[in-house]
Amino acid sequence: MLKKPAQTCCDIHPIIRDRWSPRAFDTRPVPHDALLSVLEAARWAPSSNNVQPWRFIVATTTDLQAHAAAVTGFNVRNQRWAKNAPVLIFALARKVNDAGAANGAAAYDTGAAVAQLVLQATALDLVVHQAGGIEKDHIRAMYQVPEDTDIVVGLALGYQGDADSLPEDLPTREREPRARKALTDIVFAGVYGEAAKL
């Protein structure tokens, strides 16, 4: 299976190094305990005032109708690969706390929960591809998501598949090297924009 470990300047945990976002999924289902485990990892994310604003809508191929409906939540370009993932998840962020006060950290905290979900999946030899290219109005209507809750991202979860199973331009994109900005471009000291001497 195609691997694309991060090219790092120093050692990082293998789970972080080896995680990447394949679009090729095997149709093999995700065992129930593995699905539970990745959701549990998300549940234990830290959050501002422990508000836990994240919500998840899950559809798996154990219910083909629900899975087919979830596929329509992805935009057409993303549907090309998301439809093969046996688990589709939409991550939502509730913009108010349990007392009804605005929670400005809702999106930040939901991102942290998704990051934990993704790393737990990696630890279980699963892969996740996140998608901002989703049909938010359609998702809101389909799942009756209340107005106080933002639809943040779609997640395709499953076992990695063969890159050549992908259509059109996607096998080539699957093999593109992963790239990141240098630490000197993102870590500053003294003045914003001045690279920290690490």
Ligand X SMILES: Cc1cc2nc3c(=O)[nH]c(=O)nc-3n(C[C@H](O)[C@H](O)[C@H](O)COP(=O)(O)O)c2cc1C
Q: Which is nearer to ligand X, 181 or 197 (CB)?
A: 181
Q: d(Cα 136, Cα 152) in Å, to the nearest integer?
A: 8
Measured N-to-C along each axis, helices 106-123 and 32-43 cross at an angle, to the nearest 10 degrees, of 140
8 Å CB contact between 170 and 20: no
DSSP assignment string, 53-102 = -EEEEEEETTSHHHHHHHHTTB-HHHHHHHTT-SEEEEEEEESB-TTS-B
Q: By CB under 6 A, name the one of 16, 17, 18, 21 that touches ligand X.
A: 21
8 Å CB contact between 103 and 114: no
Q: Which part of the chain contacts ligand X (CB under 6 A), choosing from 50-58, 102-110, 127-135, 182-190?
A: 127-135
Residues near ligand X (CB under 6 A), total:
9
Chain residue at closest Cβ approach to ligand X = 133
User: Does 110 sit near ligand X (CB under 6 A)?
Assistant: no
Instruction: Estimate to the nearest angstrom the gap between the alpha carbon of 127 and the chain centroid.
Output: 9
User: Does 24 sit near ligand X (CB under 6 A)?
Assistant: no
User: Does 78 sit near ligand X (CB under 6 A)?
Assistant: yes
Q: By CB under 6 A, name the one of 38, 57, 93, 153 that touches ligand X.
A: 153
8 Å CB contact between 84 and 157: no
Q: How far is the CB of 112 from ligand X (least distance, A)?
A: 12
User: Does 20 sit near ligand X (CB under 6 A)?
Assistant: yes
Q: Which part of the chain contacts ligand X (CB under 6 A), choosing from 57-65, 83-91, 130-138, 157-165?
A: 130-138
Alpha helices in 13-59 (DSSP H): 14-18, 32-43
Q: Which part of the chain contacts ligand X (CB under 6 A), choosing from 50-58, 99-107, 125-133, 157-165?
A: 125-133
Q: How far is the CB of 144 from ligand X (least distance, A)?
A: 24
> What's the Rg (C-alpha) of the chain?
18
User: Does 133 sit near ligand X (CB under 6 A)?
Assistant: yes
User: Does 56 sit near ligand X (CB under 6 A)?
Assistant: no
Q: d(Cα 35, Cα 5) in Å, to the nearest integer?
A: 24
Q: How far is the CB of 197 from ligand X (least distance, A)?
A: 27
Residues near ligand X (CB under 6 A) are 20-21, 78, 130-133, 153, 178
